[in-house]
Structure 1
Amino acid sequence: MSKPSRPGRRLLLAAALGGLAAPSLPRAQARYPTHAVRVVNAYSPGGTADVVCRILFGALGERLGQSFAVENRPGAAGTLAAQAVARATPDGYTLLYDATAHSVNPSLFGSRLPYDTRRDLLPVFLAMQTPNTLMRWPGFEAKTIPDLIALAKRRPGQLNCASTGIGTVQHVSLELFNMLAGTQINHIVYKEIAASRNDLAAGRIPLQFSNVPSTLPLTQANQAICMAHCGPAPIALLPDAPAMSEFLPGFETWEWNGVFAPAGTPGEILRALNAEMNAVIRDPGVTARLNGLGALTRANGIEDFAAFREQQIAFFADMVKKADIHID
């Protein structure tokens, strides 16, 4: 083959140098997003996770001038949505909105998960964090946590507490309570949260672990009383509820929501999304709406959220093992 002429060589050299000098992202990507973004929500319409998701991404869409279209894909403890996003093109145009089950699933399902949580899904932003709560039927004889512990010890295996699934954070909260208090309160699983709320309000089941946003409507309607919350600090929306850790030191469990992207998504896009979502939660209008729900937010970077996820995965792995929680 003949050698390129000198002008040809100069053109090849210029092209090569131009390639070396090119930025890591094309200019079109630097203006991300240039079209609608798909947000796969692992939870059903109308629940806390869905409401918070739509508030945040609605505000983000207005801020960036593009639509963030929320697609609800519930089922299999959030694994259907997570699998869909893990397999999506990593270009920033498919995101996952997931919640606490995300950190339970690695220990609950193990090798049966159709994706690797840490490897295939990258943390972007911790969207919401709220303590769990323990509610009681207003007519229940145990009015306080010490009363409940004493009653449960007098009647081992005779008291019932509701949750909406095996391995949920509410179930884990009950197991943690039993471990720390030395009690044997039964776990009663409901398929639908509405059914458990109805039974709690009617006194058919005396206790239920929940979270702050789900607790507020029941306490405000005088259908339930919050015996304690599972966070470290007082909660303004539940001023009469003490922290569980006052009675059982070290007791702390959370509900949380977060945004994830498929592995391989450019770092520039991840950092841009994180920065913009931090800006969204500083908006007074957004803050007021979330605070009214009891959905607490805080500024966080990608590394902060990644560390939080690791802590949560480790916590649930320990609890699943100690309580022998499994799904057959």
Structure 2
Amino acid sequence: MASASCRPRPDMRRRALLGGMLAAPRLARAEARAVRVVNAYAAGGTADIVCRLLFRSLAERTGRAYVVENRPGAAGTIAAAMVARAPPDGETLLYDATAFAVNPALFGPKLPYSAREDFLPVYLSLVTPNTIIATDRFPPRGVRALIEAAKAAPGRIDAGTTGIGSAQHITLALFNAMAGVEINHVVYRDAPTLRNDVAAGRVDLQVSNVPGTVTLLAGGKVRALAHTGLAPVAVLPGVEAVAETLPGFETFEWNGVFLPAGTPEGIRQSLNQALNAIAAEPAVAARVAAMGGIAWPNAPAEFAQFLDRQYALHARVVRSANIRID
């Protein structure tokens, strides 16, 4: 799904850029109030883990408090609507993920804010492929075998996700379209229930992301059938890419930081430089890599271009798969 420009730069360029950003000026500390970081997702998930990792390190680096406030619900729109109404003074941030770029197509005019006009993209903090996880009781052992099984029993294989219009739902819809199959989408209210049902064999498949999959595999009872990246995933050795069977297939989940529109450009640029420097710190970079996350230096303009591609891509998938929230 992502173009080559969405993926990390070569290591040599990455090291050079990171080295420069480590010297970026720190944000001003003087008598500053705590910054409110509104996270659109629940505690304990990938977005929450990465958000807290970054802003805890940023607080240590700058001496300013960053308070993460989880406000999940309605595919991230509750948190985004709150930040859209916040004063543009740099003291309220939004930490959001892939659904931010899906929601304009999913909700249309019902969306209580404009994703493009009410926010300033600051920093793309994480990209990670999605995955297809299978219960050990599910016979297919690869993508080709999965497609053959789905064609032999249309509408009889179930795949669970935790949300309509989520990155994982988009992955399933695109897989159905490109493979010419009909795998059922089963929506769960929460990740623990879905994980339990997959482990118990009550649902055949789960569409997840790499960090969530690493955690699940540690508990046994499930296996990673495939990932949706274009390159091998280090933390999932031996797991094939969907693209090996369906050329060009790529989906991923991302996380990013936003400010309310109207925030002074100097605040946005300073925050971007500080977050780039934090991501380059060895302890932070190692933690993200261990989760299966990919991060690289990026400026607000690059993140904005990335989002433009995401808006267009998800609009096409939502429209072609007729994905709706009733």
Q: Which moved more, 1:260-269 or 1:291-300?
A: 291-300
Residue 40 (structure 1) shift: 0.5
Instruction: Determine the structure 2 residue equivalent to 1:166.
Output: 164
Of residues 113, 131, 141 in structure 2, which corresponds to 1:115?
Answer: 113
Task: Kindly provide the amino acid, as one letter, of the partner of residue 301 in structure 2.
Answer: E
Q: Which has the higher contact order (CA 8 A, sep 6+)?
A: 2
Task: Kindly provide the amino acid, as one letter, of the partner of residue 102 in structure 1.
Answer: F
Residue 34 (structure 1) shift: 2.4
Task: Kindly provide the amino acid, as one letter, of the partner of residue 47 in structure 1.
Answer: G
Residue 32 (structure 1) shift: 7.4
Instruction: Determine the structure 1 residue equivalent to 2:91.
Output: 93
Q: TM-score under structure 1 normalisation? A: 0.89
| Residues in 2 aligned to 1:271 and 1:228: alpha-carbon distance in whole angstroms | 38
Of residues 212, 215, 219 in structure 2, which corresponds to 1:214?
Answer: 212
After superposition, the CA RMSD in angstroms is 1.3
SS of equivalent to 1:241 = coil
Instruction: Determine the structure 2 residue equivalent to 1:126.
Output: 124
Is residue 244 of structure 1 aligned with residue 217 of structure 2?
Answer: no
Q: 1:103–1:309: 8 Å Cα contact kept in structure 2?
A: yes
Distance 1:154 1:301, change over 3 A: same
Is residue 180 of structure 1 aligned with residue 178 of structure 2?
Answer: yes
Q: 1:128–1:257: 8 Å Cα contact kept in structure 2?
A: yes
Q: 1:108–1:167: 8 Å Cα contact kept in structure 2?
A: yes
Q: Aligned runs of 1:1-328 on 2, under 5 Å? A: 34-328=32-326
| Residues in 1 aligned to 2:267 and 2:221: alpha-carbon distance in whole angstroms | 45
| Residues in 2 aligned to 1:303 and 1:277: alpha-carbon distance in whole angstroms | 15
- Give structure 2 stretches of 5+ with no counterpart: 1-26
Task: Kindly provide the amino acid, as one letter, of the partner of residue 190 in structure 1.
Answer: Y
Q: 1:227–1:242: 8 Å Cα contact kept in structure 2?
A: yes
Task: Kindly provide the amino acid, as one letter, of the partner of residue 33 in structure 2.
Answer: H
Residue 139 (structure 1) shift: 1.9
Q: 2:29–2:64: 8 Å Cα contact kept in structure 1?
A: no
- Give structure 1 stretches of 5+ with no counterpart: 1-28
Aligned length: 300
Residue 223 (structure 1) shift: 2.1
SS of equivalent to 1:124 = strand
Which of structures 1 and 2 has the bigger CA Rg? 1
